Structure 1
């Protein structure tokens, strides 16, 4: 009987030890997952900063170089800017886009290209989702250069005496008429430049001062008259990020006139729950504006309402063309 009790006791102790080991393994697994999560989170934060090509170290020997600057806009969106040396020649590469965090890489879709930004320690790689599209990144460069490749993190400010100081830059062409849109300046007050080419009468540079920053620009023949419209999207400084549109319409291929864009605050239906954070795009020859709806008590960074979408048509006014709200709908945001 005593021997039986000893045997049972040994079995119970063995079971307890096995259980403890399993619990220990589970705890270790959880800790490893936490460390992996921290590591991923850290790599996300590490995307912010400046990255340069190898020839940056030889810039004082007159070598050309390019730099990538990545800034965080919100929890999942980053702005990617590529600039090149511009002190003694035309910049070789210029690029601006917002990229969305997907797993541990950034992805941007621009001009039909799916561009991927991958970070391995301090080396940033720019490529395309489809390897066959890699040559399409030459579009953003001149002289046969390609934006694709590796860039190394720079732990000091970029050389401001050499780099292209344009904050935003985009070149757009439609119906044999082109526009180069770019901004310069510091802080919330910037200078907007529009250089048209291909107009029959007037291709003079247009310069204006804006309070805010340009986020994107598009070109489209919105009224199907054979001449394009230029749309420049901008956002105000500050936490509200209120959007606005600066637009021009080409008159019979000869000259261009500014289009009036109505503020949301003047629309009794659209302005309810409006606190900025606008997005603009051209959809089927209409200008579309989207923004989150804020309910009473919502904080600026946490709207709880739906997404409001306003579709604008381009119409002829008494003195000039203007955008008029055509449809206003609400969209349930994806969760």
Structure 2
């Protein structure tokens, strides 16, 4: 009898230990997950006016999309069915920690802080807070806290301009915009200030979203180049570049960029999540490197950085690979 009782006690103790170990593992897993991993920072966030939109209230929304391992794409749009949109803003924001990203505008640091199901937009330096008014009209500001919602924004009211940016360099202006209409996404580019013929073209970019645009005189010839960056809307977020070069300030023509998936010089371990930027007089591309393990594709924890130079081609100018380096992921690096 005593042996039976002893056996029962031991069995109960083992079960209890297993439950404690399981609970400890669950607690450990919860602690390892960041808020962005548990709830997902991607999606749509709105201000308080959104819930009262049926009563005619104005509202502003923030959409956060996946960038690469170090960035997110932030887009601010507002109600546009009754009046001019209140705020329009597009930016690529760089990761500082699990809950904080930063974008840059004219040397000012705009911060996006995620907390549970909310995003707060402010500036790192309180003295720069007025920069958030630049992208709005009527005295409004991007600054404030927005609450996450499930699903899409109200398509009957929202401004359907998915990207908008005006750039200037060396006396030439560029208006870059993307609009979703009739279930088709388009990219429109027009210039102002060219001596011979201004450029005005629209491209069908179905399945892609414009995430940023930059200008720079990449070949130092006294005329600027325009770079428009897009990403596919699937989870891989494959990047693409629409590049253009101004010809002696008289006209503008397109520059060829070979898709990364087709470029065997750089695409080993490539699986999307690109980011592009102009650094001084170099055009740069970065993307995480992956490897195959059985049937799985996993991250190596490394980033490949590719530099390009602008060269003359037979039919058109082209971006040609000029160098390549790899480094360990470091979220605290400045862009």
- TM-score by length of structure 1 reads 0.75
Whether the 8 Å contact between 2:172 and 2:194 is mirrored in structure 1 is: yes
Which of 141, 144, 159 is the equivalent residue of 1:164?
159
**Match of residue 182 from structure 1:** 177
Q: Secondary structure at the match of 2:134?
A: helix
Alignment partner of 1:251 is 2:247? yes
Which structure features the higher share of strand residues?
A: 2
Partner of 1:23: none
Q: In the alignment, is the contact (CA less than 8 A) between 2:36 and 2:99 conserved in 1?
A: no
How far apart, CA to CA, are the structure 1 residues paired with 2:115 and 2:329? 33
**Which residue in 1 is equivalent to 2:136?**
141
Offset of 1:90 from its aligned partner? 3.3
Question: How many angstroms does 1:134 deviate by?
Answer: 0.6
Distance across 2 between alignment mates of 1:268 and 1:35: 39
Cα distance change of structure 1 residues 189 and 291 upon mapping to structure 2, 3 Å threshold: farther
Aligned-pair CA distance for 1:220: 1.0
Selected match of 1:91 from 85, 89, 102? 85
Q: Distance in 1 between the 2:122 and 2:153 partners?
A: 23
The change in CA–CA distance for 1:237 and 1:147 in structure 2 (over 3 A counts) is closer
Give the alignment partner of residue 276 of structure 1, picking from 266, 272, 275: 272
CA RMSD of aligned residues (A): 3.7
From 17, 40, 44, the counterpart of 1:50: 44
How many residues get paired? 306
Matching of residue 293 in structure 1 with residue 289 in structure 2: yes
Give distance in 2, aligned partners of 1:54 and 1:221.
43
CA contact (8 A) 2:95 2:102 kept: no
Alpha-carbon distance in 2 for matches of 1:223, 1:181: 22
- Return the match for 1:225 from 221, 227, 230: 221
In structure 1, stretches of 5+ residues that fail to align are 1-29
Query: Equivalent residue of 2:86, what SS?
Result: coil
Distance in 1 of aligned mates of 2:65 and 2:203: 26
1:60-85 C-alpha deviation (Å, 9 max, x unpaired): 56554321233456887544321012
Whether contact under 8 Å (1:188, 1:237) holds in the other structure is no
CA–CA distance in 2 between the matches of 1:89 and 1:259?
38
Shift of 1:161: 1.8
Among 310, 313, 325, which residue is 1:314 paired with? 310
5 Å-filtered alignment, 1:62-81, equals 63-71=57-65, 78-81=72-75
SS at match of 1:304: strand
Residue aligned with 1:331, SS: strand
Match of 1:9 in 2: none
- What CA distance in whole angstroms lies between the structure 1 residues aligned with 2:252 and 2:241? 16
Is the aligned partner of 1:194 residue 2:168?
no
TM-score by length of structure 2 reads 0.75
Residue 82 of structure 1 is aligned with which of 66, 76, 81? Answer: 76
- 1:258-300 CA distances to partner (integer Å, 9 max, x unpaired)? 0011233554432333333322111221111222333343777
> Max radius of gyration: which structure?
1
Q: What secondary structure does 1:294 align onto?
A: strand
Change (3 A) 1:296 1:124: closer
Counterpart position of 2:8: none
Question: 1:172 Cα shift?
Answer: 2.0
Cα deviation for residue 231 of structure 1 reads 0.4
More relative contact order in 1 or in 2 (CA 8 Å, sep 6+)?
2
Partner of 1:117: 112
Change (3 A) 1:70 1:44: farther
The alignment partner of 2:271 has SS state of: coil
Q: How far apart are 1:98 and its partner, in Å?
A: 4.3
The SS at the match of 1:132 is: helix
The answer on whether the counterparts of 2:35 and 2:99 sit within 8 Å (CA) in structure 1 is: no
